[in-house]
Structure 1
């Protein structure tokens, strides 16, 4: 029987189970639970807004959205979101998924930290972001019932100090590639975490470019 939390079924097919096993083996329990809550909040958002979406694809997107923070990407030149999207793409191809579905999950993961864009794309892309943003910064918090929030957190707890520990996990996954944070919310993370970090400034780059005027 499928496990249901707050009225949302956890996908239990072969690909979903493989995704769960992979993330459980490569990420901390804190990040695993964050991914699971993100799926549930994304699915609840979809239900509330009467959106049509594939729960299995949403689940994979949620499970892989932070995969790029893994230490295996310490030498990566890419944004961590792109590394996570690429990991999900490779995983889904191994499971014979349609390239259109793979591309949609890729975009959802790649843009999940880019406010103002995902909601204007497909329902799936928007819901991957919505689930993450609810769990990270409480976006649309009051649009979920207290019972829904409680059931999600009881199933996959937010451990003590979750907020600061999450910021630390983000920082440690990006501190070796600070330039990839330019123009993203990730710059806020390193700005708070690393006293030696200096943001790239768009205006400075424009005015300091090689163009004569």
Structure 2
């Protein structure tokens, strides 16, 4: 999910004493393949941020760009047809609630539409398969499978890293997706952490109606006909607050989970996210 997005933000890079370009993965480490520690080490910060410099090995053996150039009859970008993309789609539809799953898939489509709108070229400026995977899995932390002890964004990033590792992705690609998911609710940080992080955050924000003026009405209607909204914002808040009530440590003060829990706990027991989404272009 995403609560505050500016689609004018550029996919900038961060430089400084760490000497890295476009990665914020230097503050901590993710250990092992399960990613349960909530920290990152190893190859993070070496792949760039678009995730295109790494290669994938393992059972799928694809380059991560197949199945992404086609469009549907309604003019929507076709979802990637790679084995990993299909497995991720199956996982999301099986594990997430319908409202959250539809939000995740729409976010991936919106991210591709934004990339096209900005003139970004798939395979050159970003890896379209990694973009789909990061968007599709960005709320996997709100499932039983992904519900750990960390903030839902970090739990989701860990669960996605475990999934991608099992699909045979190389460590730099896994780390790029981990970072994009972990930062997707961090305004002003994700947008400056490289192309993948920026497009994931902005694609998620577009599903809340932020900066969606460039999308034709017919395109939006076709996407929502395929993946109805189903009171998306309310379903997301229910899931986040439910986790926070069971494990208060998942909702530190000033985090999105902490703020949503606070708003739901006070009259009128309705969050600003729900109100703002209802008033935005797509509604709730």
Q: Kindly indicate whether residue 243 of structure 2 is the aligned counterpart of residue 173 of structure 1.
A: yes
Q: Deviations over 1:104-149 (max 9, x none)?
A: 11000000111111111111111111111121x3211213222221
Give the structure 2 partner of residue 19 of structure 1.
Answer: 88
SS at match of 2:188: coil
User: What's the counterpart of residue 200 of structure 1?
Assistant: none
**Offset of 1:30 from its aligned partner?**
1.2
Which whole-Å CA distance do the structure 2 matches of 1:162 and 1:48 have between them?
25
Check conservation: 1:70, 1:173, Cα contact below 8 A: no
Match of 2:211 in 1: 140
In 2: Cα distance, 1:173 partner to 1:66 partner:
13
**Contact 1:68/1:83, CA 8 A, preserved across alignment:** yes
Give the alignment's TM-score, normalised by structure 1.
Answer: 0.82
Q: Which residue of 1 aligns with 2:144?
A: 71
**Which among 217, 225, 233 is matched to residue 163 of structure 1?**
233
1:153 deviation in Å?
0.9
Q: What residue ranges of structure 1 are gaps of 5+ in the alignment?
A: 197-213
CA RMSD of aligned residues (A): 2.1
Decide whether the 8 Å contact of 1:77 with 1:177 is kept in 2. Answer: yes
Shift of 1:194: 2.9
Kindly indicate which of the two structures has a greater share of residues assigned to helix: 1
Number of residue-to-residue matches in the alignment: 193
Structure 1: distance between partners of 2:187 and 2:104: 19
State the distance in 2 between where 1:48 and 1:147 align.
16
Whether 2:255 is the aligned partner of 1:184: answer: yes
Is 1:30 the equivalent of 2:30? no
Whether the 8 Å CA contact 2:95–2:145 is kept in 1: the answer is no
Instruction: Tell me if 1:80 matches 2:149.
Output: no
* TM-score, length-scaled by structure 2: 0.63
Give the drift of 1:195: 4.3
The structural deviation recorded for 1:73 is 5.0
Partner of 1:45: 114
